Structure 1
Amino acid sequence: MIERRKFLALTVFGIAAGAAGCGRDADRVRLASGEVGGFYHAFAQLLAAVAAEAGTVRIEPVPTAGSQENLAMLASGEVNAALALADSVRDEREPMLALGRVYENYLQLAVQKDGPIQQVTDLRGARVNLGAAGSGAAVTGERLLWAAGLNPDVDVDISHRPLRDAVAGVESGELDALLWAGGVPTGVLDVPQQLRLVELGDLAAPMRERFGHLYDLVVIPADAYEGGRAVHTVGVANLLLAAPSMSDAAAGAIVNLLVSRADRLVPAEAAGTQFLDTRQLIGTDSVPLHPGAAAVYRRRHG
């Protein structure tokens, strides 16, 4: 009888412990972010930190190459949340939900400070890095070239290196230009000491006409890079996405953090537009909101 009681007690304890463990796993969110030194990675780290303080959800940032890799990881189940540029999401076929529209990414075409490239059309025949393989810049960059009248497959020698490698390539002259989609300032870009940003503002309208309304005319402020000048460029919103399998509780907890801790979620790279208020967060274009996220937005804003 004693042995039977011990067995039953251990069985009940095991079931309870297993249930608690499952609960903890259900509240764990693996968030595909981006390259170390970039906006996505910085934002994911801040979100994880405020989540740890709040104790309502556990967020584990996963460094990646960027939007395209993030979407692939989300589709495969390797992660259950991801950051991605809105135009990369538009091309995605896999089912996904949104937690919110969080920030504007700025396209930054960087060249040598005293180099000859003054506009995108000068890239004909040039060696250009269009973001790391798996990044959103790889998609957006090709669209930028098409909008400027260049064929990415014919007119430009394209590579896909990580940001730090690309910066080293431009500074050494191995590359003529690099395109980066991120917040401003991006510390790895040594502007204006070594690098110069090329004006891209004239291509915002052609990109909208050809590829849709996701592209905005934005301005990188003169004080974004110390000693730099104001530069007109193209902005693309980025979305915080969730797998349909994410629990309502986890989705709601993250949205509560986006709204209530907005002032704690502004990376140094976010001198540009941020969308961390309820009215802007819900603007996720064609991606439906996660039910847990929608419930929180309704409670907060009606």
Structure 2
Amino acid sequence: MKRRAFLLGTLVLTACGTSEPSGTIRIAGGEPGGFYHDFAALISRLSPGPLTITPIQTGGSADNLRHLREGTADLALTLSDSAHLESGLVALGRVYENYLQLVVLVDSPYRTAADLVGKPVSLGATGSGAALQGERLALGVQEAHYPLRNAVDALKAGEIAALLWSGGVPTPELDRATGIRLLPLDGFLPKLRERYGKVYERVDVRMGVYGSSADVPTIGTPNLLVCRPGLSAEYAGAVVRLLVAKAAELVPQQALGTQYLDVRSLIDTGRVPLHPGAAAEYRRLHG
């Protein structure tokens, strides 16, 4: 069945009596305070019956893919641009969208990304999707790589001029850090799309988020839940049933009001093909 045909219909949310496999599978999530970490915790808590999904704390997309390569995780959350750099991946679904956020203090003199040239800026934690995107933005800054909590502390202390973060909006760690604002990043979009394709798209951080008085245009990137082709069809199908049946509950707090898990777009995984077991389960649920 073609993906377009899926999107024209409504997925059936019942498992039709399918029994769940038993066992434990591990999901590589992210750093505390981030979207991946929260999503991994939710899918772990909601895992059905005899199947246990155990979250692993990581540095983000690139680190998650390393866990898959090394066999220390069975599932991984990753930005789609990071996934494109890895061979042999298959997807279980597209989940949400990450917003690239370039954060400065509200009273700083910086108004555009160009104002940061030569300044110390944290471009995401080592192994994160933000680190890859910061490299592709080529901001011309003095690069540092802090986990989010450390980056916020460094920003407040004046040790860095800005931090780059890729996550949901509002990200709780940033929402608690009063006295911040975002710089627009949409001006980088044409060059990014020309070089890397339509994996990047314009999104707006809405007025009121982090106390802003207007929408801030930035760059969005889809998140994928991926695995290796060797994951059993039984496990792949069980995860798909969980994504579909618990869509309304698999929404991290930082995504409420701005994003939701849309069962119609779960199969829209772009250049990363669906796991055969996942594709079969989507067909079965579609009816």
Match of 2:27 in 1: 31
Correspondence 1:285 to 2:278? no
Which amino acid counterpart does residue 36 of structure 2 have in structure 1? Y
Match of 2:109 in 1: 116
Per-residue CA distance 1:223-258 (angstroms, 9 max, x = gap): 433565421110000100012221111111111111
Identity %: 48
Which amino acid counterpart does residue 171 of structure 1 have in structure 2? K
Name the CA distance, whole Å, in 2 between partners of 1:256 and 1:209.
36
Cα 1:274–1:204 shift into 2, 3 Å: farther
Cα 1:226–1:268 shift into 2, 3 Å: farther
Correspondence 1:135 to 2:128? yes
Q: Is the 8 A contact 2:181 2:210 kept in 1?
A: no
Alignment of 1:250-265 (within 5 A): 250-265=235-250
SS at match of 2:272: coil
Q: TM-score, normalised by structure 2?
A: 0.88
Q: Is the 8 A contact 1:192 1:228 kept in 2?
A: no
Q: Is the 8 A contact 1:258 1:276 kept in 2?
A: no
Cα 1:50–1:226 shift into 2, 3 Å: farther
Unaligned regions of 5+ residues in structure 2, if any?
Answer: 1-20
Match of 1:46 in 2: 42
Alpha-carbon offset, residue 221 of structure 1: 1.5
Correspondence 1:296 to 2:286? no
Alignment of 1:86-97 (within 5 A): 86-93=80-87, 95-97=88-90
Question: How much is the aligned-residue C-alpha RMSD, in angstroms?
Answer: 1.7
Q: Which moved more, 1:101-110 or 1:237-246?
A: 237-246
Report which of the two has the higher share of helix. Answer: 1
Q: Is the 8 A contact 1:80 1:245 kept in 2?
A: no
Cα 1:301–1:44 shift into 2, 3 Å: same
Which amino acid counterpart does residue 266 of structure 2 have in structure 1? L
Which amino acid counterpart does residue 188 of structure 1 have in structure 2? E
Cα 1:226–1:57 shift into 2, 3 Å: farther
* Equivalent pairs, count: 266
Alpha-carbon offset, residue 301 of structure 1: 2.5
Q: Is the 8 A contact 2:247 2:261 kept in 1?
A: no
Name the CA distance, whole Å, in 2 between partners of 1:268 and 1:228.
22
Q: Is the 8 A contact 1:256 1:296 kept in 2?
A: yes
The higher radius of gyration belongs to 1
Unaligned regions of 5+ residues in structure 1, if any?
Answer: 1-22
Match of 1:80 among 57, 74, 77: 74
SS at match of 1:169: helix
Q: TM-score, normalised by structure 1?
A: 0.84
Name the CA distance, whole Å, in 2 between partners of 1:125 and 1:77.
40
SS at match of 1:189: helix
SS at match of 1:161: coil
Q: Is the 8 A contact 1:81 1:241 kept in 2?
A: yes
Alignment of 1:110-259 (within 5 A): 110-145=103-138, 150=139, 155-190=140-175, 193-226=178-211, 229-259=214-244
SS at match of 1:292: helix
Per-residue CA distance 1:206-230 (angstroms, 9 max, x = gap): 2111221100100111243356542
Match of 1:107 among 100, 113, 118: 100
Alpha-carbon offset, residue 173 of structure 1: 0.6
Name the CA distance, whole Å, in 2 between partners of 1:225 and 1:113.
10
Alpha-carbon offset, residue 56 of structure 1: 4.9
Per-residue CA distance 1:173-228 (angstroms, 9 max, x = gap): 10001000000111111478321111112222221112211001001112433565
Per-residue CA distance 1:86-132 (angstroms, 9 max, x = gap): 00111113x12100000100000001111111111112101011100
Which amino acid counterpart does residue 236 of structure 1 have in structure 2? T
Q: Is the 8 A contact 1:131 1:180 kept in 2?
A: yes
Cα 1:82–1:212 shift into 2, 3 Å: same
Match of 2:6 in 1: none
Runs of 4+ in 1 over 4 A off after TM superposition: none
